[in-house]
Chains A and B, each alone.
Chain A
């Protein structure tokens, strides 16, 4: 596939926003259960604002993907069948939850709603955070399923796609939260940094697993089934147009296999190895930037690696 930068930015930006929100709520949960001292609500408010910023940026990027952005509202119609439609609904809902969560913390409006048996207080922000967490995971699933549900894009059609979207987004969000906490909530920087390293390591495992899987994929379609001629040697002599078409632009990345291999190693280093080192060294801000660049490369590779069966019909011009 041809990686569209609108989608590369959309998925990486909202992934970081979702992960950051999950990190904030993790801290609040620790505090609610008394495992950590309660945080200054400014940390949550600021974190929510940053998360919202990433989500808005992702949303803006997504509009560049549409041919007719002015009709985007129509895309909420088919949520019963289309994962894209579901994403279109869940993304604003999640943004709303993050907004309310941040506002509640910012305004200090946090009434005690109930107390659980073991004297665990249930506050308004805790409930909002729970809702936001559910929506964050729903959004990860929607985004990933857009790709994973296409059964003939065999590189994507695996549960690993969903797992990796969650882990990669989670890792970058936790790294970002670590960077923010260094300034705003130093007491939890250690906790967040630890989780950031764990998630980055898990994401590395997940991505490595999908790389291994995809390296051993056997394409189900061949020119034999594509045109229905039973012969091992079929060569395309003409594709119906010589100047290219939508089919040659949208479904080919146009790079050499060597370039793809380089991008793979680049993202393995930038998204996983370097950030782990930087986090260990306590440079969370740098870790986030490096990892985000790595994730851009990872997403580019994710799209480029997917081999669409329609490409069988576009093998030669002559």
Chain B
């Protein structure tokens, strides 16, 4: 079975919001209708987004780290948002594990958004139906696109390659390897939703230098300094060994 998902590398995300704008551009232009905005140039702009980048400060000054945190639907393997939907508008596809909303069936009761612990679903105030990340289901299978473009718009847009896309059930896929080798983790594991999307943590590359590497162990007198330079007339090492 296939489970498509994103892996987001917090170690390299710089919080540029390119994925947000790219997602919005692609998904507001499709046949499913716009992702409505209200008051876009006014004092209180608001609108529907599939993907948002948030910023958190971890730690206490001066030992702080700024973590940029992109957040979208995690395409949970046990999605709590699906069984609660009274109409069947919310469903999880068997073939690739993508969780989708059928905008033609949704009655806008918002119950699924209550049932998602991650706040990944947002209602479109214009169309009055629930919307969420589709993993660009209208891109990734589009044979009219060159193969390299058959990826979610956010993945294509990320300038630091912080977003990987692939099948997390295939142990040899790029995403599975990234999760396995770089400590990928799911969000809020305590609810048993088994998110398909994973995050890679901040990682520090540390060089460990032992003391005996700083002070030469083969220098018993602990005298560091330049070795006396032999005069030009003295025999060189080559002369010595070639005696």
Contact = CB atoms under 8 A, between A and B. Distances in A.
B129 to A, nearest CB: 6
Interface residues of B, number: 62
Given A151-B191, A313-B119, A227 B109 contact: no
Contact of B122 (A71, A228, A246): A246
B137 interface: no
A193 to B, nearest CB: 38
Interface stretch (A83-91, A92-100, A166-174): A83-91
Q: Which 5 A-B pairs have the closest CB atoms?
A: A67-B108, A310-B119, A67-B128, A240-B52, A85-B86
Interface stretch (B57-65, B93-101, B169-177, B215-223): B57-65
Interface residue range, chain A:
35 or more
Interface string A214-226: 0000001101011
8 contacts: A68-B107, A227-B199, A235-B57, A240-B54, A243-B45, A246-B125, A309-B191, A313-B54
A74 B109 CA distance: 11
A240 B49 contact: yes
Interface centre among B58, B88, B113, B201 (most CB of A within 10 A): B58
Interface of B: 10, 17, 20, 39, 43-49, 52-60, 66-67, 69, 71, 80, 82-89, 105-111, 113-119, 122-123, 125, 127-129, 185, 187-191, 199, 201-202
B99 to A, nearest CB: 15
B88 A152 contact: no
Interface string A47-82: 000000000000000000111110110111110011
A82 B53 contact: no
Contacts of A313: 54, 71, 118-119
A84 B109 contact: yes
Contacts of A120: none
Contacts of B202: 229
Nearest to A72: B107
Contacts of A239: 52, 54
B56 A150 contact: no
Contacts of B17: 240
Contact of B109 (A67, A150, A226): A67
B114 A246 contact: no
A229 B56 contact: yes
A250 B69 CA distance: 22
